[in-house]
Structure 1
């Protein structure tokens, strides 16, 4: 297959000449291996038992092989991490090592953090801009910098197209399959998480059905900050004996370790007048198609407003999944701009903003996500409230839509279809 460059490739172009070791982290199937292989001179795949045994027998191999040395699924033999760290201490020449991992190390495994030696980059499924459906006309990075850019552009994509993208997945190896095969691959991916990935990465799964039910309930809470009690109740309706708090905490910890859960933390601005902000994270799975498969909805269900929902979020299940699709893309663009992503909600729910992209204290873009073609005054009221509160710290305000045109409202809020937003 012909490799298509990812947004992360530009970051690697910038960093590899000056950094000795970079670790690509993310869920299985997001494309870490394909990206790393474009740059590697030597490859060690530790999910291959023979290659792992070879490295276990002689770790010095990775130091003497032609660089860049790519070590795939390094977490399957954690001593590799410390060996790379020590090799960087001895020689910090740029472009020596690339590591890729689809899980953090198991709890209790002792490794050095790698701070100052190994830089970690998160890789997510394909953002909307990377899917090649439209040419972006609005740059998130430019909005973050506060640079004056004309908001314009037109796309032919419709609500039905966005719905299709939610179901197609952002996993490169899955999205282009015929629908029946794609569904089977997504089901297989979920089964493998429970039956293989979690056990291989340190979790004893005593009740697979209960874990699967909890994961489906978490998916139904997409784009909300529903309590974990509400998620558990939805996963165990009518059951008097529910999993223990410790068991649920284990689900969350291990599913986060393998990057399947990808929540967005609450944003609390530093040295700002805002008070009584919630600190609860918003729930997201790594890919929208996984949430759809877990909850059993199809295209017709979504377009007719059907689907399970837990917690307060968008008006429809399709709206929640569209917010998830937008959030996943925005996080890719924010990473490229060296920015972080959070969400804002006051404890009395008087004000709520879907996404806050921020870098430092003076670069902030506030974003609402709406399943509609344009934005009215009601859609932008929270964005304008935040601008009134924080002034110039808000470099721009943005509403992401499913509409046809990108434009700027008279009050200064940018309105941009998801297809026209890029890094």
Structure 2
């Protein structure tokens, strides 16, 4: 199969994870939103393929006694369309399937599917859209792993990437099959992605949407809340302003739950450290979609208007352009993949009274890397005040701290805080 595939393929960070895990684990499930490249990545290491979104293959698989005995790796693509396949793989693992026997790709199981959790049998890996480093715009020079090492590595690098290139990346998306299309076709594909989510994903999840227009409005409200911790009631109010017949709380809770299960929403949870040296931490998630390009289409944003600040659609009360939140989304999306590669988790920090907040907390054990995202080319003392405060709170547990910018020069400030252009950061 692999030898006949002549399409260009960009190696992903998740490929490194798969190489490690396939060597020792019998069954691995790749999870993530549609279009992130799960099937293509899995196909490259599969010897046998069953496509459950092809009626004939699904029917043939269901009709014969389950037997996945052939040598090599079997890929079950879109497994959730035949949910019993999950339990069948689990039983094959229990029977002694060797490492690298099964790959499963698709969304989460539909509600009500009677499947085992897979714990201890089927290991899962999250796959997100392409990171900045995977897009090939520039070779990263500073690694998150080095920042996590507590060694405070020297920071000295340059890039030609600037604000306009980052805006291009926001609008292009990190979906491999979309980003290289001409602008008009790309917009049509992204619009189709949203339409498919509203008209098909909910059906596949066993949920009836009685008023698709209300769901579309709620999604627009969520997009307007990108990179904020706005309450869900505020999102609903912003989405349905002026409408006499708003969806109920139960309906919007259903919207959120289905969109989370299908990875269309990718919120960043609040940081609550196990050892909890900080008091009065807020616990609301920071809202983000699967990709910032989806927010641009939901909000009908124009590239030039975003750059010039003529797109006042934010709902966080701060006003101004969506460019800051969208840039933060772009950076966070990449950092989530970098963190996953080094075995760390990502959260955000906010004190309940709002006096201190840090955009991205990367945590591994008791080591923390704190990142502030700034839509700026220069950094002054005011930009690092929250990072300095956190260093006072955590002491040696803060492995490193940095401001991620749209600038072109990476360096370390006299106070020890790094300044890193977004394109130069990698895993």
> TM-score w.r.t. structure 2 length?
0.96
Instruction: Determine which of 182, 187, 191 is the counterpart of 2:195.
Output: 191
| Equivalent residues in 2 for 1:267-286, closer than 5 Å | 267-286=271-290
Instruction: Determine which of 88, 91, 96 is the counterpart of 2:93.
Output: 88
> TM-score w.r.t. structure 1 length?
0.97
Deviation of 1:208 after TM superposition, in Å, equals: 0.9
For structure 2, the 5+ residue unaligned runs are 1-6
- What does the per-residue CA deviation read over 1:192-211, in whole Å, with 9 as the maximum and x for residues that have no partner? 11111221221211111110
Corresponding residue for residue 122 of structure 1: 126
Deviation of 1:315 after TM superposition, in Å, equals: 5.8
- What does the per-residue CA deviation read over 1:370-422, in whole Å, with 9 as the maximum and x for residues that have no partner? 00012111111101101100101110001100000011111111110010000
Corresponding residue for residue 230 of structure 1: 234
- Give the Cα–Cα distance (whole angstroms) in 2 for the partners of residues 94 and 68 of structure 1: 9
Deviation of 1:329 after TM superposition, in Å, equals: 0.2
Count residues with an aligned counterpart. Answer: 420
- Give the Cα–Cα distance (whole angstroms) in 1 for the partners of residues 270 and 152 of structure 2: 28
| Native 8 Å contact 2:111 2:205 kept in 1 | no
Q: Is 1:251 aligned with 2:279? A: no
RMSD of equivalent CA atoms: 1.2
Cα 1:204–1:405 shift into 2, 3 Å: same
| Native 8 Å contact 1:226 1:312 kept in 2 | no
| Native 8 Å contact 2:269 2:285 kept in 1 | yes
Corresponding residue for residue 41 of structure 1: 47
- What does the per-residue CA deviation read over 1:154-207, in whole Å, with 9 as the maximum and x for residues that have no partner? 110111110111000000000000111111111111111111122122121111
- Give the Cα–Cα distance (whole angstroms) in 2 for the partners of residues 172 and 10 of structure 1: 18
| Native 8 Å contact 2:152 2:399 kept in 1 | no
- Give the Cα–Cα distance (whole angstroms) in 1 for the partners of residues 353 and 140 of structure 2: 37
For structure 1, the 5+ residue unaligned runs are none
Corresponding residue for residue 379 of structure 2: 375
**SS of match in other structure, 1:71:** strand
Corresponding residue for residue 217 of structure 2: 213
Cα 1:259–1:213 shift into 2, 3 Å: same
| Equivalent residues in 2 for 1:14-413, closer than 5 Å | 14-61=20-67, 63-101=68-106, 103-307=107-311, 308-311=313-316, 316-360=321-365, 362-413=366-417
Corresponding residue for residue 3 of structure 2: none
Cα 1:246–1:108 shift into 2, 3 Å: same
